[in-house]
Amino acid sequence: LDIFMHSRRGNSSVSFSDAEDMFPEQLAFYNELSRNAIACGSRRMGKSAVIARKMRKYASMGIEHNVYYITKSRDSGKRIMWLMLLSVCKKYKDDIIVNISELSIFFKKTNSFIWLRGANNSLDIERLRGVKLKYVCIDEAQLFSRVLYYIIEDVLEPSLIDLQGTIDLTGTPNAMSSGAFYQLCHDKYWSNHYWTIHNNTFLLSTARQANPKIRSGEDIVDEYCKRKNISKDDPKVQREY
């Protein structure tokens, strides 16, 4: 059975700005005007938080501005984004209907959906067709092979034509520094954003509360390296932190 949850109605009482919730690098990606943009960086860079706010922005700004959030598997998408997205909608006091079994959120005011979808095989990918879309984010894009080009060009771009919608790719560098995501990160037709854990002021603030000795992102990386008994010159550290 589908399970629905209704939030409080309206958002007229919201008085804070988007900028209050984001540090500068997140805000730049949030306000990006290009229809093709990439956010690439380290783990714990804070990309999920800005993706959730960006999806909510598009779904709430226009009639039938439907949104896809796509990951390699539906389960990973749920783990990464579902609670974050619900939290953002709650903060804005959006009038929504949440369908837990479909992993969808319906915005009553704009008649728009946000869907969390997986694309782990050809059947999942073909199921992405047929919906008029305003915004798509493919997260953890480094996990996709060259099928990423097919998903973008053959499956999603036709669905974005009506509303001149936007595709974002987000992820971390892969171990081989190769593949479709790596190539698109160096494509002049995509607007590129890059930041790391060192820019994530919200994470640093939380970490300091847990451990007063932490003063910077370097301290977090040092602690990680000590725990793993590896050097900061290790390729994994250089790539992911």
pLDDT tens for each residue of 166-221: 999 999 877 777 899 999 999 999 999 999 888 888 877 787 788 888 878 788 88
pLDDT of residue 63: 97
Q: What is the DSSP letter of 216?
A: S
Q: What is the DSSP letter of 154?
A: I
Q: What is the DSSP letter of 145?
A: -
pLDDT grade for 239, boundaries at 50, 70 and 90: low
pLDDT of residue 219: 83
DSSP line for 100-125: TTTTEEEETTTTEEEEEEE-SSHHHH
pLDDT of residue 17: 62
What are the tens digits of pLDDT across the range 100-113? 999 999 999 999 99
Q: Is the pLDDT of residue 47 over 70?
A: yes
Q: Report d(CA 109, CA 2) in Å as an integer.
A: 21
Q: Report d(CA 157, CA 167) in Å as an integer.
A: 8
Q: Report d(CA 156, CA 161) in Å as an integer.
A: 9
Q: Which of 64-68, 157-161, 191-195, 197-201 has the lowest mean pLDDT?
A: 197-201
Q: Report d(CA 180, CA 7) in Å as an integer.
A: 39
Q: Is the pLDDT of residue 53 over 90?
A: yes
Indicate the helix (H) or strand (E) that contains 208: helix 201-210
The two structure tokens encoding residue 240: 């992911």
Burial of 2 (0-12, 13-18, 19+ CB in 10 A): exposed
According to the per-residue pLDDT averaged within each range, which of 35-44, 61-70, 197-206, 222-231 is highest?
61-70
What mean pLDDT value characterizes the chain? Answer: 88
Share of the chain above pLDDT 90, in %: 66
C-alpha closest to that of 46 among 197, 218, 205: 197
pLDDT of residue 233: 81
Q: Which of 36-40, 48-52, 236-240 has the lowest mean pLDDT?
A: 236-240
